[in-house]
Amino acid sequence: MARKVVFSGVQPSGGLTIGNYIGAIKNFVDLQDSYDCYYCIVDLHAITIPQVPKDLRKNTLEVLATYLASGLDPKKCTLFIQSHVEAHAELTWVLNSISYMGQLNRMTQYKEKSRKSEENLNAALFTYPVLMAADILMYQTEFVPVGDDQKQHLELARDLAERFNNRYSETFKVPEPLIQQFGARIMDLQNPGDKMSKSNQNENSYILMLDDPDTIRRKIRRAITDSIGEVIYTDDQPGIKNLMNIYNAFSGDSIDAIEDRYRGLGYGKFKDDVAEVIISGLKPIQERYIELMDNKDYLETVYRQGAEKAQFTAMKTLRKVYRKVGFIQK
């Protein structure tokens, strides 16, 4: 029986944070044995914010190396670079034609990002979720493992699939988000009301997957908590709750077990241990990453073969879409 399809992607817009790892990449690895997984490096998405071309090239290879170092296996899943499969941009155009401005205007990510870059309010930032819908629908995706922040975009992808199917007959599978119970939204260490983001200007607000042990210890020590002094999983203590989610993701220990272990011990020991579980969780990934970045030929083989496979599936969908909307076959 054909395996169900999973699709997801990460933007090469800077060094990846432990938010990207916990909310997305770690789950990608767990899914590759049971599903037909397509994992993309979404460089078309990255240019919705100004990028320095040489950094974009470097970041793209770095995301690929991070995927592989985290345990993604190109024999089990398809790893590719979005711009290598032209069908993504083509399907976006068709989906733009059934997307409503009003719905795109309500996207919170657009509102937040446009507030941050008022001088660069480009049209691509506005249609970003349509490109994301094209990415997902292209592969007849069943499940999309994403962080909580992408829920609204997933809803749009579902709407567009249904709208297209209703207008032109059954074409797209309607995808479901896969959002985990804990760690779906890792928060900013300096401002636990906001999501941890790689493009934040304050480097103490995030931990990068490639941060060295001393940097991780320093950033965790500086993480904002509260004056309550109890390690309890509650919305009233967002900083502590966030550190507990991080601890849980790296150690596998349950939230209850973490509460029990640190009862009455204050925050010092807890923070030290949070830093240590992150350091030991990231160590093998960092070691493998260095080896991979030294082997550019291997990275090139992986992304070329991945694009070939993705292209084959993508073209099947695009041809069907073009036929349904009334384009003459070439």
Enumerate binding residues for ligand AQP (CB under 6 A): 10-11, 13, 17, 19-20, 22-24, 146-147, 149-150, 184-186, 195-199
List CB contacts of 107: < 8 A, sequence separation 6 or more: 128, 129, 152, 153, 156
Toward ligand AQP, which CB reaches closer, 70 or 150? 150
Query: Tokens standing for 118?
Result: 């008022």
Toward ligand AQP, which CB reaches closer, 171 or 215? 215
Q: State the residue number with the nearest CB to ligand AQP.
A: 23
Reply yes or no on whether 195 is catalytic. Answer: yes
Toward ligand AQP, which CB reaches closer, 95 or 146? 146
Toward ligand AQP, which CB reaches closer, 5 or 321? 5
| Cα separation, 123 vs 271, whole angstroms | 43
CB of 319 vs ligand AQP, minimal distance in Å: 28
Q: Which of 76, 116, 195, 316 is catalytic?
A: 195
Toward ligand AQP, which CB reaches closer, 21 or 164? 21
3-state secondary structure 162-205: HHHHHHHCCCCCCCEEECCCCCCCCECCCCCCCECCCCCCCHHH
The CA–CA distances, whole Å, from 161 to 5, 18, 86, 181 equal: 16, 32, 20, 26
296-325 and 53-69 are packed helices; what angle lies between their axes, rounded to 10 degrees? Answer: 100
CB of 11 vs ligand AQP, minimal distance in Å: 4
Q: Which of 113, 219, 241, 271 is catalytic?
A: 113
CB of 76 vs ligand AQP, minimal distance in Å: 20
CB of 318 vs ligand AQP, minimal distance in Å: 23
Angle at the Cα of 205 (from 129 to 132), degrees rounded to 5? 10
Quote the DSSP letter at residue 229.
-
At residue 15, the 3 state secondary structure works out as coil
CB of 304 vs ligand AQP, minimal distance in Å: 22
Reply yes or no on whether 113 is catalytic. Answer: yes
End-to-end alpha carbon distance in the chain: 33
268-293 and 238-251 are packed helices; what angle lies between their axes, rounded to 10 degrees? Answer: 50
Q: Which of 111, 116, 198, 324 is catalytic?
A: 198
- Residues labelled catalytic: 113, 195, 198
